Amino acid sequence: MHRSGFWNFDANQEVQVYKFINDGFKKYGYVEPVSKGDLTAKQAVDLAIKGKNIYWNVESGECNARSLMYKGDYYRYLCPVVNTKAKLTNYLAQAYSSSAIKKAFSNYHLVEYKGKMIQPDADKGSILDWNKSKAEIIYKQGNTRKVEFTVPCGYDDTATIIATFMKEKGKWKINNFGSIF
């Protein structure tokens, strides 16, 4: 299974990027936070890549998580770095708005069970290459932007994805969890 990376985030500092290597997280580099001024197409792409990494780290897991039966379905515990609701919320807040996070908990069946976070256990993946994506701001109103992404998909195809961003506490955030995957 492909393991990407996760971001250790402090809102006032650069983002530390960790990569899953040999059953553990290793420091990989740094990325500047996207927060000042109006949202540019480049910032939207950078934030989409960050959001995609966060999305897949939560959806696929970055550790050998234990499975369990919950209400008749197979679930898995989330990794220790995001195994409580507070940790998971803080992790998602690196790229997603509070509204998107709230919807993610219900739409993606992120459940708090005996104080730990669990989610349905399923194989997931994506062939979208966000690192080569192009973005165009197609809507601006107040602190809301809609961005149309053209993302390479597979050998010679592209996908068009529209995502909403909003400025929250001075930082641009993705406002729809799951639109960037």
pLDDT tens column, 43-99? 999 999 999 888 888 877 667 778 899 998 889 899 888 999 999 999 999 999 999
User: Mean per-residue pLDDT for 138-166?
Assistant: 90
CA distance 151 to 133: 4
pLDDT tens string 2-49: 333 333 333 333 444 444 444 444 444 444 444 457 899 999 999 999
- Give me the pLDDT at residue 21, please: 44
Q: pLDDT tens for residues 129-144?
A: 888 989 999 999 999 9
Please tell me the distance from the alpha carbon of residue 74 to that of residue 92, in angstroms, as a whole number. Answer: 23
Token pair in block for residue 78: 């989330």
Tokens found for residue 169: 């506490």
Q: How far apart are CA 43 and CA 166, in angstroms?
A: 13
Alpha helices in 5-152 (DSSP H): 41-60, 85-92, 98-107
Measured CA to CA, the distance from residue 179 to residue 181 in angstroms comes to: 6
Distance CA 138, CA 163 (A): 10
pTM comes to 0.70
Question: Which pair of tokens denotes residue 162?
Answer: 């529209």
Q: Which CATH class is domain 39-174?
A: alpha beta
